[in-house]
Structure 1
């Protein structure tokens, strides 16, 4: 038999290889976070990296980029929209521009601590939001149970009531829910990347910042602020968000690995954060900061209208019931 007689068979076989179902090749996912390597949440990312490598038999490699090495969160979200194999640890406020419901997760005094908000972000209702976000922006949530603590006020003057924040330029993320919350608390919201906060305080570009304890310690805020006021105004829950197009290029098994391990690692990060708070507060005091426990009722009352302003009034009641286990 000649080569010519084999040609149709060879072509058919080649076509089957090209046109048939294919498995995802080895993949690399680059994860960006504004946090430092000392942050408890970063330990969760390391746990995620190692678990994914082991469970996927090395077919998925996770690389971590702390200190916003890949750029501001918004830039990485745009890269993910374009299909790049990147992910970012991001709050719901920044996702609200694509799917409105996510913004309520950053609204003031929605829940306290981790356990209640975890019920919200693992609920069937939240999974509906995950699907809507995919359709709206091309982002895939791997998990949203990355709790970073409650946001407090870092200032250079004592603060006890909203009136004390009049005229204070306070850094906050640029999402509407954050901006409205800080404005309602009495300060002037000033958006900028978190990586720029230290120098901005040094140069008097801003007067204050609101941040959770691990992030403030990691950013060395005790060197540029004197007072920590425990308002707990935002219970910061964040998610690990990647490209839906990239996620869809993976095998179903790889997709399952990423989502399951992200949820497990989120718990590692969140409970690690919870367990670190007392020691961080003691360290801040040792560095000379004044830590004030105050009656937050005036701040709670001042920010109550933020929900209705942004159209979250009905959703607030629903989510608070889920958080309470009702």
Structure 2
């Protein structure tokens, strides 16, 4: 598959969160909730045709053995937030609060760079070894257009319209 038309009705494993099913339905796929540790067997036994993962997951779970074609949709960015209470932060002196916020921003940027570069290196390694094939996806803009109303509705549903709008101003 290289475009949305070829993804029509494709059975894809999704996480249990309803937003995942809604987004994949919006682009015409057939989402199926399956536990992560069951994906390998589900692909192998044709329960699903596809899963979606970053390279580290593909490597760790050896999904390339049963699903050697990797469609490069780039449909999600994994975010790994650092979380702690405002109450705890406010107990600290201002210089430490500033240092923690600054370090968090730096760590976020660094972590994103590392994860992205390591992902591509892993994919390239498995492609070179003949274990998987990276397939270009040509309909990313159309995919985003189809998913946009789903994301906006979900932001409203969970009371996150302000942050959703702020994120979209960064595009």
Distance 2:106 2:68 in 1: 36
1:188 aligns with 2:30: yes
CA contact (8 A) 2:55 2:120 kept: no
Which residue does the alignment assign to 1:294? 137
Indicate if the aligned counterparts of 1:161 and 1:299 stay in contact, CA closer than 8 A: no
Q: Is the 8 A contact 1:168 1:207 kept in 2?
A: yes
Partner of 2:120: 278
Structure with higher helix content: 2
What does 1:11-30 align with in structure 2 at a 5 Å threshold? none
Q: After superposition, where does 1:174-213 map in structure 2 within 5 Å?
A: 174-213=16-55
Structure 1 or 2: more strand by fraction: 1
Describe the superposition over 1:78-120 as per-residue Cα deviations: whole angstroms up to 9, x where unpaired: xxxxxxxxxxxxxxxxxxxxxxxxxxxxxxxxxxxxxxxxxxx
1:259-311 Cα shifts (integer Å, max 9, x gaps)? 88766554443221122233122123123322122222332232222134325
Using the size of structure 2 for normalisation, the TM-score is 0.73
- Cα distance between partner residues in 2 of 1:218 and 1:239: 22
248 and 203 in structure 1: CA distance in 2 versus 1, 3 angstrom threshold: farther
Equivalent in 111, 118, 122 of residue 269 of structure 1: 111
d(CA) in 1 for partners of 2:105, 2:41 = 35
Gaps of 5+ in 1: 1-158
Q: Provide the secondary structure at the position in 2 that maps to 1:284.
A: helix
Structure number with greater Rg is 1
Q: State the partner residue of 1:306.
A: 150
In 2, distance between residues paired with 1:240 and 1:201?
34
CA drift of 1:225 comes to 0.3
Partner secondary structure for residue 78 of structure 2? strand
